[in-house]
Amino acid sequence: MEQAEKEKLIEALHSLKKAQTWSTSIEGVSRGEYFTLHMIHHLTKNTNESKPGARITDLSKAAQMSKPAVSQMLNTLENKKLIERVMDKNDRRVVFVKLTDSGDEQLEKTHKQFQFWMDQIIEELGAEDTAELARLIDKLRVIMEHLPQPN
């Protein structure tokens, strides 16, 4: 690949990261907070008394984040009263996380805004380009997952 093509790709990725809509908070929560709330919601769909929420280890795996990073994010969400931690009644070392009523409301508001943006993007791109973009992003993800680590 020529240097000019490399620079174009780097600039495109950098400009995407800088896109104003994505860099601001969504309805009062950051993108990371939204995706964490969404992941907690997804992991707790089928909870019961024996499993009153998402285990932090499951959340860490699903979000592909380190446990300290997840813990820091959960502290932020807990301070905003969007989540609560619940200890396992049988094993106090196990901690579950679940959305509070405020967390559910926040997730719903944020999800509506996110869906609005997705609808706008898809409308502007069109169905064919949207499908191609999704395919290329997934291909990029696979490539990046298999890149050798620097020495």
CA distance 28 to 103: 12
Collapsed DSSP state (helix, strand, coil) of residue 82: coil
Whether 40 and 98 have beta carbons less than 8 Å apart is answered as yes
Q: What is the mean pLDDT of the chain?
A: 87
Which domains, from first to last, does the chain contain? Answer: 3-145 (1.10.10.10)
**48 band by pLDDT with thresholds 50, 70 and 90:** low
pTM of the model: 0.75
CA distance 99 to 38: 10
pLDDT at 51 over 90: no
Burial 65-84 (b: 16+ CB within 10 A, else e): beeeebeebbebbeeeebbb
Average pLDDT over residues 89-98: 86
pLDDT at 1 over 80: no
State CA 56 to chain mean position distance. 15
